[in-house]
Amino acid sequence: EKQKPTHIAVVFDAPAVTNRELEFSDYKAGRHEMPEDIRIALPYIKQIIEAFKIPMLLKDGFEADDVIGTIAKDAEKEGFITYMMTPDKDFGQLVTEKSFIYKPAAYGKPAQVLGIKEVCEKFEVENPLQVIDILGLWGDAVDNIPGIPGIGEKTAKILIKQYGSVENLIAHAEELKGKQKENVINFAEQGLLSKRLATIIVDVPLEYDFEDLKMESPDEEKITALFAELEFRNLAKRILGKEIQIQPAAKNQVGAQMDLFGNTEMETEVLEETSSASPEETSYELKNITNTNHTYHFINEKTQRAALIEKLNAQKSFCFDTETTSINALESEIVGLSIAFKPHEAYYIPFSKNQEETLQILNEFKPLFENKNIEKVGQNIKYDMNVLSNYGIRIKGQLFDTMVAHFLIQPDMRHNMDLLAENYLGYKTVSIETLIGKKGKNQGNMRDIAPEQITDYACEDAD
């Protein structure tokens, strides 16, 4: 979207033994086996790449790094600007005026494009090729490249800054002192070996043509089928510009999923909706608040609250959610409380900015929340418990947290409620941004919104 490439390729490691392993049998010896979830996902990854009509390259005896390095050098000779998409520090050695590292976004940090300036600053070198010398001295624990004992990242940078290369350092080893001098002399061959292992090969004998790497329009039919199978709704909308139709799960699958949340009434209803759907409805648009029957109540009178509490005291379980002024539970003020105990019906109780009035209303609900015989259900319920504890309410009884439950069955996925609603209920929730605006310095909070306008959003959360 940003770089708008004219040519593209994805490179994989070949299964054959590499030249580095032949030279150093312990190369990458410390690496764990491929995680099971990645192994299972790999065939799908390749199918998606094929559906996008992106060429896949690999070469026996060489690593993916070498193939990428070779293509980058070839591309530079042909006048291309090349982006090597990788988080790997080793690729710093390949950076030139026409070849850049495109470091993907990760851990909340945006994607970065690293050129000569950035690489030289990071490694404190004059030339990106000296990254190889840094790694030769420092080694690389990930690839089990030994380096020279006693030389870490900081010392390697100092020595290469002074001597320029591993070879020149070894030639002037007598200028060093103490243990460092001893190690450089005794492990000189190991340092040179480490430099060779860290050097990305840029003349791999590849059989390819840049014409074969030209960007093509993706196979929309294949992508749609794959994304539907994998339930990649958001990604499909971003890439294809439209909602995809997801086949509802079979009865036994839906039942198993609903069982997780312990709600047999909801399970029965979902099964009935699935079984009674017409063929045209079997592939459906996501449900949402506008196309789903629901009854959401705005509760603002003491008599209404008393009637609701009486109903709740007769339940074995209910779900609740709080609306607040901050994501920091200990600093936030409660703005509203939503409660549900059966599908498609929920109640919203607003609270005044006056904290004394708020405390009085919450005290009406205190015996309910502290009733040990009634289960309380929530999403990230710890947050809501902390909010209520600010007002002297200590929630008691059995708890069920949908976020924690999902983490237990799908630990590698995201667990936010919007995503769970899409994946398990085929439902698109109301975005909080429709109420308080997009994230940023101008975003408001729930206190800025009229209580009546919050009702549907809050009730939907509890529902």
Residues 311-352: pLDDT tens digits?
A: 999 999 999 999 998 888 888 899 999 999 999 999 999 999
Over 60: is that where the pLDDT of 447 sits? yes
- What are the tens digits of pLDDT across the range 29-40? 877 777 777 888
| Domain 295-462: CATH class, spelled out | alpha beta
Give the DSSP letter string of 250-273.
PHHHHHHHHHHTT-HHHHHHHHHH
Cα maximum dimension of the chain: 91
**For residues 430 and 457, is the Cβ–Cβ distance under 8 A?**
yes
More confident residue, 220 or 232: 220
Q: Name the band, by pLDDT with cuts 50, 70 and 90, for residue 412.
A: low
CA distance linking residue 370 with residue 402, whole number of Å: 20
φ and ψ of 374, to 5 deg: -115, 125
Least confident of 144-148, 164-168, 233-237: 233-237
The pLDDT, as a whole number, for residue 327 is 86
Contact between 406 and 417 under an 8 Å Cβ cutoff? The reply is: no
What number of other Cβ atoms are within 10 A of residue 146's Cβ? 18
Domain definitions of the chain by residue range: 10-198, 220-282, 295-462
3-class secondary-structure state, position 301: coil
Cβ-contact 93, 66 below 8 angstroms? no
pLDDT at 259 over 60: no
**pLDDT value, residue 223:** 93
DSSP string, 57-100: E--TTS-HHHHHHHHHHHHHHTT--EEEE---GGGGGG--SSEE
CB of 440 closer than 8 Å to CB of 446: no
* 86, pLDDT greater than 70: yes
- Whole-number mean pLDDT of the chain? 87
| Confidence at residue 101, expressed as pLDDT on a 0 to 100 scale | 97
Given a contact cutoff of 8 angstroms between Cβ atoms, the answer to whether 114 and 138 are in contact is: no
The pLDDT of residue 251 is above 70: no
Q: Taking a C-beta distance cutoff of 8 angstroms, is the pair 376, 332 a contact?
A: no
Q: Cα-flanking dihedrals φ and ψ of residue 317, to 5°?
A: -160, 145
The pLDDT score that the predictor gives to residue 258 is 35
Per-residue confidence (pLDDT) for residue 264, from 0 to 100: 36
Instruction: Please report, for residues 202, 260, 313, 364, 461, the alpha-carbon distance to residue 302 in angstroms, rounded to integers and kept in the order given.
Output: 77, 35, 16, 9, 23
Closest CA to 119 of 159, 89, 162: 89
Confirm whether pTM is higher than 0.85.
Answer: no
Output DSSP code: residue 424. Answer: I
| Nearest alpha-carbon partner for 345 in 315, 325, 365, 380 | 315
Of the candidates 394, 397, 374, 375, the residue with the CA atom closest to the CA atom of residue 386: 394
Fold of the CATH domain 10-198: Rossmann fold (3.40.50)
